[in-house]
Amino acid sequence: MGMTIAEKIIARAAKVDEVKPGEIHSVNLDWLMSNDGTTHLTIDMYRNKLKHPHIADPGKVVFIVDHNIPAENPKTAAVHKKMREFARENNIKMYEGKGVCHQIMFEDFVEPGQLIFGADSHTCSYGALGAFGTGVGCTDFLYGMVTGGSWVMVPETLRFNLHGKLREGVYPRDLILTIIGDIGANGANYKCMEFAGDGAHNLSVNDRFVLCNLAVEAGAKTGIVEPDEKVKEFVESRGRKAENMFVSDPDAKFLKVYEYDLDKIEPVVARPDFVDDVIPLRELGDVKIDEAFLGSCNNGRIDELRVAAKILKGKKVHPDVRFIVAPASNEVYLQALREGIIDVLLESGAMVMNCNCSVCWGSCQGVIGENEVLVSTGTRNFKGRAGHKTSKVYLASAATVTASAIAGKIVAAE
């Protein structure tokens, strides 16, 4: 019996010829990434719970400060200080103020075929480059850091065959929200969401990141796009290797196969307070907003900033709206500067933040107040995600968010 992409990656990591869904295998990890959301807890366990603390391979561990940066209070400052000191003591790579953790991993570390643990649920993003990334808790991260390995139960795979191309004004964000709306927030629980077909290959690696990033919002263990020459070119252009370009065998077994014609996808919005409450934007009705956010690990790359600048050129943000933009990394920010995008954003009245999780995290920037409404390119919209428990978060594409910032209500881009 043939194997899926996910199964091949796990087999490589487990150093076995074949794996099957439901089996549990000991695996070697290629990378371990942790951010300031929970790293301090891992460090405390390492220092206080282990009899013989050591790190198996510091060269495979990456710490990234991105959730609350710069520190907004003494408690957060203490967390960052603890991370800095521990990283220095143990020769761990440390990124602070450089961007969102998954974007940094995408830009600097991930290679096809790798198995990566991250102490953050959106680690599934790495499937954009044909890797198996998955989120874990502090205990599992600590075990991986100390031993260099872990265990994985092989997930079943849901195959999403994508056909054609997205129409003008429709984006990968609309596609993945549509899929989540179709299968539900529990529709892929502990499954791998595999994206393939000519439609998948028509997407850029940045676009593929958008799909894989939100796989966890359908409950998936990971999301993976079948790698191709675009992945190889991206990885090798950044000085990395593309040696394990796994694709599913013709006789691989999938739990279920879905077919999507991309030219039938339309702009959509996910309504509060559930990511799978997705409807066509044209059916939403009149929803006034207080704030708009463009950024996050899902939609903060140069592609989205270009879309925003094109819509904003010569226009102004609505006087009753706060439009907050946070590029996903310094690399993205610098590219936007070179292209004049930041000029357009600032001239329109948008507020450009440093590269961090910002409004999506709902902690240190753009927190929304009682009964306020946010339209966002963030990853989640559950109750209280971006501020007060009575506030409301709508999820949409960068185009919809930008057009809404101008109109003062949720609208489609013209």
User: Within this chain, do residues 229 and 283 fall inside the same structural domain, yes or no?
Assistant: no
Domain that holds residue 323: 268-407
Asked if residue 413 is part of any domain, the answer here is no
Residue 335 lies in a domain: yes
- Among candidate residues 262, 293, 318, the one where a domain is terminated: 262
- Does some domain include residue 379? yes
Boundary of a domain, candidates 262, 291, 313:
262
Q: Do 158 and 31 share a structural domain?
A: yes
- The confidence band for 249, taking pLDDT boundaries of 50, 70 and 90, is very high
Residues 278 and 255 in one domain: no
Tell me the pLDDT tens digit for each residue of 354-404: 999 999 988 889 999 999 999 999 999 999 899 999 999 999 999 999 999
Q: Say whether both 153 and 107 belong to one domain.
A: yes
- Whole-number mean pLDDT of the chain? 97
Strand ranges, E, within 228-313: 256-261, 268-270, 278-280, 291-294
Do residues 164 and 66 both lie within one domain?
A: yes
Residue at which a domain ends, from 221, 246, 262 = 262
**In total, how many domains does the chain have?**
2
Asked whether residue 160 falls in the same domain as residue 244, the answer is yes
CATH code where residue 335 lies:
3.30.499.10
Task: To the nearest 10°, report the CA torsion of 6, 11, 14, 19.
Answer: 100
197's tokens: 């077909």
H-helix or E-strand containing 33? strand 31-35
Spatial distance between the Cα atoms of 291 and 324, rounded to a whole number of angstroms: 8
> pLDDT digits over 118-167, tens only?
999 999 999 999 999 999 999 999 999 999 999 999 999 999 999 999 99
pLDDT-based confidence at residue 414 (cuts at 50, 70, 90):
confident
Alpha-carbon distance values, 44 to 50, 78, 82, 248 (Å): 10, 13, 9, 41
Residue 56: the pLDDT is 97
| Alpha-carbon gap, residue 210 to 101, rounded angstroms | 15
Tell me, yes or no, whether 180 and 129 share the same domain.
Answer: yes
- pLDDT tens-place string over residues 73-84: 999 999 999 999
> Would residue 245 count as lying in a domain?
yes
| Per-residue pLDDT reduced to its tens digit, 11-20 | 999 999 999 9
236: in domain: yes
Residue 322 pLDDT > 90, yes or no? yes
Let me know whether 334 and 302 are in one domain. Answer: yes
Q: Residue 161 falls within a domain, yes or no?
A: yes
**Separation of alpha carbons 134 and 8, rounded Å:** 15
Kindly state whether residues 207 and 106 are assigned to the same domain.
Answer: yes
Same domain, 177 and 274: no
Establish if 414 belongs to a structural domain.
Answer: no
DSSP code for 31 = E
Asked if the structure places residue 115 within a domain, the reply is yes
Q: Are residues 245 and 311 in the same domain?
A: no
**pLDDT single digits (tens) 185-203:** 999 999 999 999 999 999 9
Same domain, 245 and 155: yes
